[in-house]
Amino acid sequence: MQIRVPEFRYGKFEVGGRNASRARLYEELERRIAALPGVASAAVASKPPMKHLPNPWGVSVEGRGAPAPNQDEGREAVSRKTGLYIHGSTSDQRVSPAYFRTLYIKLLRGRLLDERDTGEAPMVAVVNETFARKFFPDEDPVGKRVTVDYTSWFPRITIVGVVADVKLNALDRQPFAEMFWPVAQAPSRDVWLTVRTNVEPLALAAAVQREIREIDHDLPILEMSSMEGVIADSLWRPRFSAVLIGLFAGLALLLAAAGIYGVMSYQVGLRTREMGLRMALGADRRRIFSLIIGRGIKLALAGATIGAAVSLALGRLVASQLYGVSAYDPLTLVGVSLFLIAVAALACYLPARRATKVDPMVALRAE
């Protein structure tokens, strides 16, 4: 849930300002909510999981020279105000120490944020794997110092840990380089409260709201949702696109099936008299039947092979619209091909069955 923090009670927000009253409020919120029955863990953060886009800021790595031309990501190579080289960009999150435990974010190296990282302590941060690979590809980032260019604020931060990548912005986007530093060292304007529960999440909503009002009745709650709801909201655009694409794909499949059936049935129908003549001259009905079916399936196999090859060649055009499935999914290709081959076999079977029942004498007299 998002909690708006009024300036008339907690002071004017300033970028980089160490606002002690805001820091105390966030600490009290986390402590009181975490103590509620049914709550496993609670944490505060400046941004909500799955609901924010990266807000990139320039990063300068201490002791490193000018960046390679392809590393500045379109930013200026040197900060105008500090004169430091900009080696890339990162998004940021201000979080309480319990944030990683609440969201099950795994520690890989170093340590997590803890009670040592107060507003009076030197600034520290935990970074994700993408940040570590981007800025320290061949070395351990723990203990390294960086400066972040916030245009009007340039904190010098020591990296104390590396955590696993998680998709905090959207499921269909790759993780962005991200830093997490203690909310106590630079309290955010407003705050998002994340609560992990041992019961149905929204069943605790009333108790959490009541606790917040007891802390301060002037704290408005702007938004509240379960994590499942947040994920569902983040996926509505790709889901809507998937439904439309699925409908058009289904229609295209039906049209293809109807076209195959019509063409194959017509071709077999044209050979009805030929089959009658063959039988009049002594050909076996079952042999004629298998001949027609076999020829139809060979044509269908050739068409399915060509179609699969074209699909593989054009798969990259739809790859950006897919999540959790490859554009070259073999099960889909095989399933659709088998369906169309079955349609072709059925289109051959029905007219061939009728044709083999034609009286050979009738066919001869017709000729």
What are the extents of the domains in the chain? 2-231, 237-366
- Determine which of 23-27, 120-124, 331-335 has the lowest per-residue pLDDT on average: 331-335
Q: What are phi and psi of 342, to 5 degrees?
A: -65, -40
**What percent of the chain is modeled with pLDDT above 70?**
92
Angle at 328 between CA 325 and CA 330, to 5 degrees: 90
Predicted confidence at residue 140, as pLDDT, reads 93
Predicted confidence at residue 102, as pLDDT, reads 93
Whether 17 shows a pLDDT value over 90: the answer reads no
For residues 260 and 254, what is the distance between their CA atoms, to the nearest angstrom? 10
For residues 194 and 182, what is the distance between their CA atoms, to the nearest angstrom? 15
Predicted confidence at residue 72, as pLDDT, reads 47
Q: What is the mean pLDDT of the chain?
A: 84
Nearest to 134 by CA among 159, 168, 99, 104: 159
Nearest to 44 by CA among 18, 89, 5: 5
Q: Write down the residue that tokens 């079916």 correspond to.
A: 293
Whether 360 shows a pLDDT value over 70: the answer reads no
Identify whether the C-beta of residue 126 lies closer than 8 Å to the C-beta of residue 98.
Answer: no
Pairs from 129-135 (Cβ < 8 Å, separation ≥ 24):
129/162, 129/163, 129/164, 129/165, 129/175, 130/165, 130/174, 130/175, 130/176, 130/177, 130/178, 131/90, 131/162, 131/177, 131/178, 131/179, 132/162, 134/88, 134/177, 135/59, 135/61, 135/87, 135/88, 135/177
Whether 352 shows a pLDDT value over 60: the answer reads yes
For residues 49 and 166, what is the distance between their CA atoms, to the nearest angstrom? 10
DSSP label at 77?
S
DSSP label at 35?
T
- Determine which of 48-52, 78-82, 210-214, 318-322 has the lowest per-residue pLDDT on average: 318-322
